[in-house]
């Protein structure tokens, strides 16, 4: 299964990762199309400390601004990647503003990485509804993830 970043490059051309917030175990970021700086997706990544240790030096490349899936793939480390079914969530003002859309819903999915059998990262991905059709199945955003969205996106990013 191709990585999200690979799919985006195939469809939209050159992309870049923009970091909104990052600390030791959490990263909020978005992928932007380089041609017009349009936000294609928003991500909340929750790293596990045991997974960070297990991934080793490749984790430093990720926190230095590398695209998580691509860095892990290139590292040669044994990993698994599990992707949930796509569903939709109601967007709050922060996501709608980031995506610069008047849409009320967007597609989301959860991606989990394990490195050498240890959980490494859980990624909550939200896709700009201007470019990704809204899924048919409803979902709810976990309260801790909603809190992060409200904290970092309501003050204009």
State how far the Cα of 58 lies from the Cα of 121, in Å rounded to an integer.
13
Domain boundaries, the chain: 4-149
- At residue 156, the pLDDT reads 43
Cβ-contact 87, 109 below 8 angstroms? yes
Distance between start and end Cα atoms, the chain? 31
pLDDT in tens, the chain (157 residues): 789 999 999 999 999 999 999 999 999 999 999 999 999 999 999 999 999 999 999 999 999 999 999 999 999 999 999 999 999 999 988 899 999 988 999 999 999 999 999 999 999 999 999 999 999 999 999 999 999 999 999 754 4
Strand-pairing partners, residue 79, are 115
Compute, in degrees rounded to 10, the torsion defined by CA atoms 70, 156, 88, 1.
-10
Say what the pLDDT of residue 53 is. Answer: 95
DSSP label of 84: P
Residue 155: what pLDDT? Answer: 55
Token pair listed for 96: 């709608």
Cα separation, 121 vs 112, whole angstroms: 6
- The 3-class secondary structure across 7-53, one letter per residue, is HHHHHHCCEEEEEEEECCCEEEEEEEECCCCCEEEEEEEEECHHHHH
DSSP label of 133: P
Number of residues assigned to the chain: 157
| Per CATH, domain 4-149 is 3.40.50.1950 | no
According to the model, what pLDDT value does residue 39 have? Answer: 97
Beta bridge partners of 19: 29
Question: What residues contact residue 65 under an 8 Å CB cut-off, 6+ apart?
Answer: 17, 19
pTM (whole model) above 0.75: yes
């Amino acid at each position: 299964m191709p990585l999200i970043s690979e799919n985006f490059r195939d469809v939209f051309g050159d992309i870049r990762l923009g970091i909104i917030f990052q600390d030791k175990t959490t990263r909020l970021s978005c992928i932007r199309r380089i041609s017009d700086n349009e936000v294609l997706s928003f991500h909340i990544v929750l790293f596990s400390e045991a997974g960070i240790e297990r991934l080793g030096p490749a984790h430093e490349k990720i926190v230095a601004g590398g695209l998580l899936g691509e860095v892990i793939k290139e590292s040669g480390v044994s990993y698994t990647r599990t992707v949930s079914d796509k569903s939709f969530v109601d967007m709050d003002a922060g996501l709608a503003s980031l995506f610069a859309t008047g849409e009320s819903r967007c597609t989301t999915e959860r991606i989990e990485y394990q490195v050498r059998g240890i959980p490494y990262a859980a990624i909550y991905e939200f896709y700009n509804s201007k470019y990704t059709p809204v899924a048919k199945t409803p979902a709810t955003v976990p309260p801790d993830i909603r809190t992060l969205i409200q904290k970092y996106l309501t003050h204009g990013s």
